[in-house]
Structure 1
Amino acid sequence: MFQKQDLINAISEGYKPKGDYIYLGAAMHDGEVFPEAAVKIPLKTMNRHGLIAGATGTGKSKTLQILAENLSQKGVPVMLMDVKGDLSGLAKPSAGATFIQERHELLEFPFTPAASPVEILSLSEQGGVRLRATVSEFGPVLLSRILDLSPTQSGILSVIFKYCDDHHLPLLDLKDLKKILQFATDEGKEEFEKTYGRISSASTGAILRKIIALEQQDADLFFGERSFEVEDLLRKNKEGHGYINILRLTDIQDKPKLFSTFMLSLLAEIYNTFPEKGDSDKPELVLFIDEAHLIFQEASPVLLDQIESIVKLIRSKGVGVYFVTQNPDDVPSEVLGQLGLKIQHALRAFTAKDRKAIKLAAENYPLSEFYDTKTEITSLGIGEALVTALDEKGRPTPLAATHLRAPMSRMDILTDSELRELIDFSGLKEKYNTAIDRESAYEILNAKIKRAEAEKAQEKAEAERKKLEKTSSRRSAKATGPQKAMVKVLTSATFIRGVMGVLNKLLK
């Protein structure tokens, strides 16, 4: 039999951090809210990754907003992947509303409108600070996994990178990579074979086709200079609040390959750049990946392994990764097992497939003496969620059906003029929005090919000239031979004596 005080005691004890924390809301049961059973997430565990799941319209984006703005206020920088374009309101304080006030009265928690420092980022030609990376920075291993290359093709790509390193050919964008692949089996074939072995034209052709497929998702906009420095994600304003870096992805929803390419490169760069942190009072950076299924839906098994490895390791750098999606099943089980904080909004059981998904989703949460998880998932209202986290000792907290607080920032998006103003006053725009197209492998190889073609043309012309001279000499020899013989006869002593004898006879 349900005992209210038992629930209050269990939640109060399970969510009682000793250090700093983020207040999410209060436990509830059968629609009744218990403000004394506060659900608090220890700040120091926010690098243990997490999941925000639930059907469309159940409040996932607002939960993400709550976490992001509270992290910012605690001095933790945040990066958000804004696929739907509904998170820009973080830059403005909430205007307040009656339903917000009523919600906080139930929680017995004060509501204070507040804005966060926001930076707008972009992978494409949308407004915002442009994010780019060079092909060289990816390297052959990561690029092979993104392109889903075979072992043979991966080996060839490694040879290509080695050749470019040896010959000081910068690989900056995809046209550089395509050019060197063509060069390896055409104009530079002999040079490659002499030093690096034979390069199969069939393999380079297969690699080129996969690069073109990546280009068709506008990846050529991402590869290039100036490369984004991940340290710029760690900025704070003069009040010490961490910047919320919002990456606008509304125009690449149908380009999952580009999305996963960017995400993997970002995680790899952060892992390779950030120092080891060990245990600290708060994370260095927290990433929220909205519509997380876009990363995984076209990822190869090798790419999934790479993502899983980085997710496992990156928390040692003080970085938390949070996946936001409709169903926990959208995230591979190997990744799901690494997530410490889980916030489950409502799921709807319209079909047999939905009911099966709900049963599987319920199994991702700890057993509870207070809640039937499968039933609870389908009965949650907007702004309500099942929550389980890790306490400061890394132990799972009790499952809590939670009445969530409201965001302090605007729950609606910025107007076009507000968005333009925010972008225009960006502290990073001048640094990254000037395109650089310096001499790289494409230009160097083109110049090399032109020089080789000019040398061949010169050699051919020289050979033609010598051939003409030789032909002319032979013709001259044939033409002058009889003439020389005639001259020899006419100037011989015998001929002259004969002529003189005839003349003497005639004179007599």
Structure 2
Amino acid sequence: MSSKEKFIEHVAKGYQSKGDYIYMGAGMLEGKVFSEAAVKIPLKTMNRHGLIAGATGTGKSKTLQILAENLSDKGVPVMLMDVKGDLSGIAKASNGAEFIDERHAKLEFAFEPKSSPVEILSLSDQKGVRLRATVSEFGPILLARILELTSTQTGILAIIFKYCDDNHLPLLDLKDLKKIIQYATGDGKVEFEKDYGRISKASTGAILRKVVALEQQGADLFFGEKSFEVKDLQRKTSEGKGMINILRLTDIQDRPTLFSTFMLSLLAEIYSTFPEKGDSDKPELVMFIDEAHLIFNEASNALLDQIENIVKLIRSKGVGIYFVTQNPTDVPEGVLGQLGLKVQHALRAFTAKDRKAIKLAAENYPLSDFYDTKNVLTTLGIGEALISALDEKGRPSPLVATYLRAPMSRMDVLTNKELQDLIDDSPLVEKYNEEIDRESAYEILNEKIEVADKEEAREKAKEDRKKVSKGSSRKSTRQNPIIKVLTSATFIRGVMGIMNKLLK
């Protein structure tokens, strides 16, 4: 058997699929493309998470696009975190190009331009369906991890949440949270000490400063109503296609804490609300996190632990999470070890640090009889990648240098008009874009303080009147003896004067 035949058999054995699958492309060996060596990812393993890595300009976004549009075609809803703003073109069919035709001719795979159903989401003031969550939905433990609170501060935050629950004070946005923190050691100090114990003003001050720091990153836009319901990420079209939800994050790169806050909230909400799925034929939802280093670089150890735990557990809910970044080392080892599908585009070796990173990246992939992984990583072209996946039984598939197919949708961004038309047609805009500011902890506590202040003012005025009244009474009492004395003395002097005259 020739090396070509051995290679084709090797790939076919590792990537054959009895069920539904996503066709990624064909295997490459010694610079040649073998269309018979089809690389197919079983649909049922797409909830096993994954990684798309590679240097800038090597085709990561296009690989993401291939996976997203194919998942949608299979009836799987998708959520894309679009940090660079270059994924909206998936809503329109490809215009085609000569290089695409040439690529698909090598693959012997028909190119059929088509669009995918898209929903545009936003965390900030950008156009799209607004995503929000209330402070109460976060809860004290999750919020404490985001704020990087100490154990003492976390305990105080838990007491504050308990007080709000006991007194029916809705914690909806950050102004509610700041108000109750101030109230705990201010106007409500006595009330808190009576029912919950003494709370240190220094601790509440430290918590408040961290809340303000989070607010400065734009979290005030995220916290509030109306809360986004994660079930709306699972919508499908009447034809059965899964909706591709694109979250625009082009203004979020300098606000990593807000991004981490949102991601942790979303994953926690999905985990708590989605039912257990077990081993199903396809995922319930697949999420792609572009520029994943934005989550991990600025995250605290507590936050990293939380993300790692959720990644481990959320698979049972039928949810797959895919991290898109430049280098596998951007992803913590605890998370990297959970990823079943790895698509590695080229890495560049310009410095000693780059060469070290390439060596580490190569060690993340299984050994191969056909490739020197470390060298292949630096010689891959645009639209080529090393792929390692799981078969339908969860076993690692062989490493294959793959000549990737092209996306069937446009590989550029929508125009402003196209984007606006897409948003105008959305049924979710009316549901979520109305700003609601109902009565919550901020208003209730302000009213309570105002009533207490008025009552205190009335009591003070009452006391002042009593003091004035008592003062007048004492003044009258002090004057009477004097008047008597003066009257008596005057009378005596008068009598004595008369007597002196008579004696004369």
In structure 2, how many angstroms separate the alpha carbons of the residues matched to 1:489 and 1:209?
Answer: 74
Residue in structure 2 matched with residue 16 of structure 1 by the alignment: 16
Q: Secondary structure at the match of 2:143?
A: helix
Aligned residue for 1:386?
386
CA contact (8 A) 1:93 1:114 kept: yes
The correspondence of residues 427-438 of structure 1 with structure 2, limited to 5 A, is: 427-438=427-438
Output the CA distance in 2 between the equivalents of 1:261 and 1:141. 13
Q: How does 1:258-273 map to 2 (within 5 A)?
A: 258-273=258-273
Q: Quick one: which amino acid aligns to residue 303 of structure 1?
A: L
Shift of residue 490 of structure 1?
12
Q: Is the 8 A contact 1:345 1:380 kept in 2?
A: yes
Deviations 1:392-420 (A, max 9, x none): 10000000000000000000110111011
Counterpart residue identity of residue 238, structure 1: S
- What are the Cα deviations for residues 177-232 of structure 1, in whole angstroms up to 9, with x where unaligned? 11111111111111111111111111111111111111111011000000000000
Report matched runs for 1:11-90 at 5 Å: 11-90=11-90
**Residue 494 of structure 1 aligns with which residue?**
none
Note if 1:397 corresponds to 2:394: no
What does the per-residue CA deviation read over 1:53-75, in whole Å, with 9 as the maximum and x for residues that have no partner?
00000000000000000000000
Structure 2: how far apart are the matches of 1:197 and 1:2? 79
Task: Give deviations 1:164-189, integer Å, cap 9, x for gaps.
Answer: 00011100011111111111111111
The amino acid across from 2:229 in the alignment is E
Partner residue, 2:342: 342
Counterpart in the other structure of 1:239: 239
Counterparts of 1:474 and 1:63, CA distance in 2: 93
Q: Equivalent residues in 2 for 1:104-183 (5 A)?
A: 104-183=104-183
CA drift of 1:478 comes to 2.1
Shift of 1:17: 0.8
Please state whether the residue corresponding to 1:287 is helix, strand or coil: strand
Q: Aligned pair count?
A: 495
Taking the TM superposition and a 5 Å limit, the aligned residue runs for 1:91-490 are 91-483=91-483
3-state SS of 2:217 partner: coil
Distance 2:90 2:2 in 1: 39
CA distance in 2, matches of 1:4, 1:372: 17
Name the CA shift for 1:303/1:435 in 2 (closer, same or farther; >3 Å).
same
- Cα offset, 1:4, TM superposition: 1.0
Deviation for aligned residue 1:476? 1.2
Shift of 1:477: 1.6
Q: How far is the alpha carbon of 1:126 from its aligned partner?
A: 0.2
Aligned partner of 1:7 in structure 2 is 7
Instruction: Give, as a single letter, the amino acid of the residue that structure 2 aligns with 1:102.
Output: E
Aligned-partner Cα distance in 2 for 1:123–1:159: 29
> d(CA) in 1 for partners of 2:146 and 2:223?
13
Q: Distance in 2 between matches of 1:489 and 1:408?
A: 119
Whether the 8 Å CA contact 1:341–1:389 is kept in 2: the answer is: yes
**Partner secondary structure for residue 220 of structure 2:** helix
Q: Match for 1:3: what amino acid?
A: S
- Once the two structures are TM-superposed, the CA of residue 475 in structure 1 deviates from its matched residue by 1.0
Shift of 1:484: 5.6
Q: Which amino acid counterpart does residue 144 of structure 1 have in structure 2?
A: A
Q: Distance in 2 between matches of 1:486 and 1:218?
A: 79
Contact 1:119/1:423, CA 8 A, preserved across alignment: yes
What do the CA deviations read for 1:123-164 (whole angstroms, capped 9, x no partner)?
000000000000000000000011111100100000000000
Q: Within 2, Cα distance between the matches of 1:386 and 1:126?
A: 36
- The answer to whether the 8 Å contact 1:2/1:370 transfers is no
Q: Which contiguous aligned blocks of 4+ residues in structure 1 show a shift greater than 3 angstroms?
A: 481-491
Aligned partner of residue 216 in structure 1, secondary structure: helix
Rounded to whole Å, the distance in 2 between the matches of 1:478 and 1:143 is 66
User: Could you tell me which amino acid in structure 2 is paired with residue 281 of structure 1?
Assistant: D
Deviates more, 1:202-211 or 1:284-293: 202-211
Q: Distance in 1 between matches of 2:474 and 2:75?
A: 91
When the two structures are superposed, what TM-score results if normalisation uses the length of structure 1? 0.95
Deviation at 1:282, TM superposition (A): 0.3
**Percent identity between the two aligned chains:** 76
Deviation, structure 1 residue 480: 2.8
Query: TM-score if structure 2 supplies the norm length?
Result: 0.96
Contact (CA 8 Å) 1:16, 1:40: kept in 2 or not? yes
Paired residue secondary structure (2:12): helix
- Residues 483-498 of structure 1: matches in 2 within 5 Å? 483=483
Q: CA RMSD in A?
A: 1.7
Counterpart-to-counterpart distance in 1, 2:210 and 2:313: 29
Question: Secondary structure of 2:299's match?
Answer: coil
C-alpha contact (below 8 Å) 1:288/1:322 kept by paired residues: yes
CA drift at 1:346: 0.2
| CA–CA distance in structure 1, aligned partners of residues 111 and 411 of structure 2 | 14
The residue type paired with residue 336 of structure 2 is L
1:339-367 CA-partner distances (Å, limit 9, x unpaired): 00000000000000000000000000000
Aligned-residue offset at 1:2: 7.9
Distance 1:490 1:351 in 2: 114
Distance 1:486 1:3 in 2: 134
In the TM superposition, what is the alpha-carbon distance from 1:488 to its structure 2 partner? Answer: 9.8
Asked whether the equivalents of residues 26 and 37 of structure 1 are also in contact (C-alpha less than 8 Å), the reply is yes
Any idea what SS the aligned residue of 2:28 has? Answer: strand
Amino acid at match of 2:182: Q
Deviations 1:36-63 (A, max 9, x none): 0000000000000000000000000000
- Secondary structure at the aligned position of 1:367 is classed as coil
Structure 2, unaligned runs of 5 or more: none
Q: How far apart, CA to CA, are the structure 2 residues paired with 1:430 and 1:482? A: 84
Distance in 2 (alpha carbons) for counterparts of 1:436 and 1:87 = 30
Determine if contact 1:26/1:107 at 8 Å carries over to the other structure. yes
* TM-aligned CA deviation for residue 28 of structure 1: 0.5
* Distance in 2 separating the partners of 1:486 and 1:137: 80
Q: 1:479 Cα deviation (Å)?
A: 2.2
Q: What letter matches 1:343 in structure 2?
A: V
Question: SS of the residue aligned with 1:397?
Answer: coil
Moved more, 334-343 or 178-187: 178-187
